């Protein structure tokens, strides 16, 4: 049935439309409906791949980190079976628990993102009125087929794409599809141009605001423009967030290091004659020591807490990785309507017709009253009908006018005429009868006889100079992004006869003034855009609106600089369709910041081009048409109040107050979170050094193992967790929003971070802790090379002081990580309960593992002389002092021009 989907259907006359679709005004017969339904299927948006849930769940258990933990857990269970009572089963369950929790969390986030397609179903009506076999019938919307004749009235939601064959004062709101709030007046007459811009086509998902019409369905389900967006939104794959990429890179690197070291020294142990059991324990120790088991859970907790802080600032985060991703954005692609503007029609100015100044209050109300006389659809205190008429009534009421009284004074109405491009009315007041008319300036200009002159008794006779001045006023208003409505009047000698046509009144009109109507800009937006620019973030507008309107709004909010020539920063959808992605990337780099008259596919194209330029992209929007781009972006941001369910489901971030300025708050929070994640990542990796070194010494030299696997987990899943969470809650740096977005090489696991964690602080902790280990051994009578049972009191005491000293040194490391260049000793740490609690826990735990027998038995530790424990307290001061000295040396070198990475 390909003819029914001919995309030139808007070019045909109503009669030709019916023939083209093989239907008639009486509608289809039941037999025809069954045939077409079997051919094209139901009028629904099918959600495919429902069983992909299990596939997605399985994929979460196959990443590097999860596989490594699972294999390690299995080895632990096997080892426990071979040699029970060594605690390996406890280690196995701990590793398996971490693996399952992380996999389940990732799965839940991905499952949420797939609900956007299902939400699209809610936008289509459930039941509709059609004409079949010459009778009007109410049927389920899903039973519609191409060729059905629809009956539509005010308040109906359009169920499928349909071509009008009859229209009576029909106005629709296409905002759910196009994102633009401007009402569209439809006609049944044949049209040229693009199908999507035609004024004789009704699109699925849109709303009838006024009037009634009859239309022939030509596309249903996924073939509608609405359905194409739904399919595109579902098929778009969201790329991993910056944090996900960084985390995956870090996990791969640490996994490779852990496996390589474990396998290498396992083989070394085999060739040197050590038992399989010793080699197995050693390999597990190396793997566990290299993999920071508590790091990813700490990521999750840190991001979750960050999302709670964002919620207090009206930024709701659906996917936790989007918390940090906001801070990484290089460019924000924003919709216009409902995002930068308020998504409503409003009269924002009333202009003098000669000078273009804002009218005086009395004249202001008078012009609005005349425009109201030429409006339609106002009954009593209720406002309804054409959104422009509603806006005029609201403005008149705000100016002190009596809207119901003004409506009661109207004795004759002339509805808007598409051909004449104006509407009129006759009102009866204290001064008699007056004909009022409002419409396009071009339609009223030839009918004028006089022009009102503020401050002068009576209007002036129209002349070329007066018309030229009025032309200039209209041009200024139009270029500022306003919709210009001319208002004129003529006083009548008496009441008009009922049969007098409208054109009988339209001569010698007096031009009263001009109304400027627009979708008002949100007052907070210009300041938010300025803050984005200060933070090195580009802002780009992508809209379906007219290029002139789009650029005017972009200039007013600061997206387009004032020194750029008109049109110099704007690209239309037609131009966008003609250029390749490579050419588009060049345009973006040259400064194009406004895209007008774009389709959903083109919005997606712009987002993809930015991503090809290695930019982290955030996209804002509130309409159905924004869903594909929202999902394709690194960060999709939907409006909470004005946004559609589809947009909210496709997005990762929702602005609860629809405030563009809240994005700036989210960016600040995101940048702070990434900085904090780097802090606790650095903090956690430092303890890997003293955890690995005992195993290397154990394999190379004839010495006891200074730390067991369980003791390593006591640090990774115990004492390091709370301080790490505390670092994740540090407050923003005052300069964080005066810096550009971070470079791509500023990852979580860079060489400077590895060198600092493993080769500097890690070695210091290892040297100090192992020094105490051997002090206890030699002081207890152990001699080099002698065997020492793992349950011997001397061995338990030596491993105990090793563990205790590492935990204490992490306190000094904690303060060092609070500041990249300073001491980190600012007393504001006392306002961070997690840091205070973490320090207290580390202090108590370092004592308890030595002197609290129940804990000592679990961890395989024993007491030491108090003087040795006192010396262990020198560790935090040692590591803090050496690290601070490093900071000062690096700062001095940078001050002298040395290019040293921050790391």
CB 838 within 8 A of CB 814: yes
CA distance 65 to 254: 9
Phi/psi for 416 (5° steps) reads -60, 130
- The verdict on whether 457 is a catalytic residue reads no
The DSSP letter of residue 341 is B
Q: Where are the beta strands (DSSP E) in 382-508?
A: 382-383, 410-417, 422-429, 432-439, 448-451, 460-461, 483-492
CB 862 within 8 A of CB 793: yes
| 8 A C-beta contact, residue 367 and residue 359 | yes
Sign, CA torsion 256/262/268/270:
negative
> In terms of Cα–Cα distance, which of 726, 723, 697, 690 is closest to 802?
690
The CA-to-CA distance between both ends of the chain, in Å, stands at 63
Alpha helices in 464-617 (DSSP H): 464-479, 525-534, 547-557, 573-578, 581-590, 600-612
Beta-strand pair 315-317/653-655: antiparallel
Continuous segment of H or E residues that includes residue 804:
helix 793-817
Residue 439's φ and ψ, nearest 5 degrees, are 170, -165
What's CA 443's distance to the chain center, in Å? 44
Burial (CB < 10 A; 0-12, 13-18, 19+), residue 384, is middle
Bridge partners for 594 per DSSP: 541, 570
Q: Are 796 and 863 in contact (CB under 8 A)?
A: no
Q: Which residue has the tokens 């579902």?
A: 234
Taking alpha carbons only, the member of 773, 696, 791 closest to residue 782 is 773
- On the 0-12 / 13-18 / 19+ scale of CB atoms within 10 A, 428 is middle
Instruction: Return d(Cα 196, Cα 600) in angstroms, integer.
Output: 11
| Dihedral angle computed from the Cα positions of residues 151, 153, 155 and 159, in that order, rounded to the nearest 10 degrees | 20
Catalytic residue of the set 161, 169, 335, 386: 335
Q: How far apart are CA 667 and CA 477, in angstroms?
A: 35
Catalytic annotation, residues: 335
């Amino acid at each position: 049935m390909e003819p029914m989907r001919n995309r030139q259907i808007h070019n045909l006359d109503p009669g030709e439309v019916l023939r083209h679709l093989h239907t008639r005004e009486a509608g289809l017969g039941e037999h025809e409906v069954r045939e077409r339904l079997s051919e094209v299927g139901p009028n629904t948006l099918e959600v495919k791949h429902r069983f992909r849930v299990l596939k997605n769940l399985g994929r979460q258990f196959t990443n590097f980190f999860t596989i490594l933990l699972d294999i390690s857990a299995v080895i632990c269970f096997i080892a426990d079976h071979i040699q029970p009572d060594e605690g390996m089963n406890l280690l196995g369950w701990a590793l398996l628990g971490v693996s399952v929790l992380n996999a389940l969390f990732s799965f839940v986030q991905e499952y949420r993102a797939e609900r956007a397609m299902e939400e699209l179903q809610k936008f289509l009506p459930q039941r509709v009125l059609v004409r079949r076999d010459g009778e009007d019938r109410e049927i389920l919307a899903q039973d519609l087929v191409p060729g059905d004749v629809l009956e539509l009235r005010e308040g109906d939601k359009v169920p499928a794409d349909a071509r009008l064959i009859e229209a009576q004062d029909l106005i629709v709101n296409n905002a759910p599809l196009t994102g633009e709030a401007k009402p569209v007046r439809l006609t049944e007459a044949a049209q040229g141009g693009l199908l999507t811009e035609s004024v004789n086509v009704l699109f699925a998902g849109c709303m009838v605001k006024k009037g009634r019409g009859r239309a022939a369905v030509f596309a249903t389900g996924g073939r509608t423009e609405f359905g194409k967006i739904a399919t595109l939104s579902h098929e778009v794959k969201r790329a991993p967030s910056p944090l996900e990429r960084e985390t995956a890179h870090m996990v791969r690197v640490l996994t490779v290091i852990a496996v390589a070291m474990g396998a290498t020294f396992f083989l070394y142990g085999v060739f040197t004659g050590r038992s399989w059991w010793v080699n197995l324990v050693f390999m597990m120790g190396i793997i566990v020591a290299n993999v920071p088991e508590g790091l990813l859970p700490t990521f999750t907790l840190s991001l979750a807490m960050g999302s709670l802080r964002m919620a207090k600032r009206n930024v709701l985060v659906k996917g936790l990785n989007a918390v940090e991703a906001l801070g990484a954005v290089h460019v924000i692609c924003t919709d216009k309507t409902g995002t930068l503007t308020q998504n409503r029609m409003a009269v924002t100015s009333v202009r003098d017709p000669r000078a273009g100044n804002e009218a005086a209050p009395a004249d202001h109300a008078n012009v609005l009253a005349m425009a109201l006389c030429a409006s339609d659809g106002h009954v009593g205190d209720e406002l309804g009908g054409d959104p422009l008429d509603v806006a005029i009534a609201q403005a008149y009421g705000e100016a002190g006018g009596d809207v119901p009284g003004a409506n009661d004074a109207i004795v004759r109405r002339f509805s808007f005429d598409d051909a004449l491009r104006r509407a009129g009315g006759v009102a009866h007041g204290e001064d008699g009868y007056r004909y009022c008319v409002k419409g396009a300036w071009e339609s009223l200009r030839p009918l004028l006889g006089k022009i009102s002159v503020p401050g002068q008794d009576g209007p002036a006779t129209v002349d070329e100079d007066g018309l030229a001045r009025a032309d200039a006023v209209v041009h200024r208003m139009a270029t500022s992004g306003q919709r210009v409505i001319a208002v004129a009047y003529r006083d009548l000698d008496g009441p008009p006869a009922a049969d007098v046509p409208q054109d009988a009144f339209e001569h010698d009109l007096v031009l009263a003034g001009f109304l400027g109507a627009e979708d008002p800009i949100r007052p907070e937006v210009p300041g938010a855009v300025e803050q984005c620019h200060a933070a090195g973030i580009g802002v780009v507008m992508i809209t379906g609106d007219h290029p002139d309107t789009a650029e005017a709004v972009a200039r007013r909010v600061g997206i387009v600089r004032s020194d750029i020539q008109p049109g110099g920063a704007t690209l239309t959808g037609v131009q966008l369709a003609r250029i390749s992605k490579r050419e588009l990337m060049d345009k973006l780099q040259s400064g194009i910041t406004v895209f007008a008259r774009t389709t959903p596919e083109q919005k997606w194209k712009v987002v993809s081009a930015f991503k090809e330029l290695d930019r982290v992209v955030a996209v804002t929007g509130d309409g159905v048409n924004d869903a594909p781009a929202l999902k394709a972006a690194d960060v999709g941001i939907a409006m909470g109040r004005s946004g559609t369910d589809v947009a909210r489901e496709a997005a990762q971030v929702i602005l609860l107050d629809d405030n563009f300025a809240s994005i700036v708050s989210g960016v600040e929070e995101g940048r702070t979170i990434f900085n904090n994640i780097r802090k606790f990542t650095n903090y956690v990796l430092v303890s890997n050094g003293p955890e690995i070194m005992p195993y290397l010494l154990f394999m190379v030299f004839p010495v006891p193992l200074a730390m067991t696997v369980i003791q390593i987990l006591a640090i990774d899943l115990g004492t390091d967790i709370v301080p790490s969470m505390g670092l994740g809650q540090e407050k923003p740096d005052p300069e964080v929003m005066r810096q550009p977005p971070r470079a791509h090489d500023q990852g979580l696991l860079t060489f400077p971070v590895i060198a600092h964690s493993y080769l500097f602080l890690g070695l210091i902790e290892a040297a100090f802790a192992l020094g105490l280990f051997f002090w206890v051994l030699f002081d207890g009578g152990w001699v080099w090379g002698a065997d020492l049972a793992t349950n011997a009191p001397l061995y338990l005491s030596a491993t105990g002081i090793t563990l205790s000293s590492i935990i204490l040194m992490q306190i000094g490391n904690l303060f060092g990580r609070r500041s990249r260049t300073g001491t980190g000793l600012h007393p504001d740490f006392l306002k961070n309960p997690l840091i205070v609690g973490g320090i207290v826990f580390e202090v108590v735990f370092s004592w308890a593992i030595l002197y609290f027998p129940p804990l000592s038995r679990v961890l395989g530790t024993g007491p030491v002389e108090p003087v040795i424990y006192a010396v262990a307290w020198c560790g935090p001061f040692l590591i803090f002092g050496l690290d601070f000295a490093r900071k000062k040396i690096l700062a001095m070198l940078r001050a002298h021009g040395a290019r040293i990475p921050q790391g």
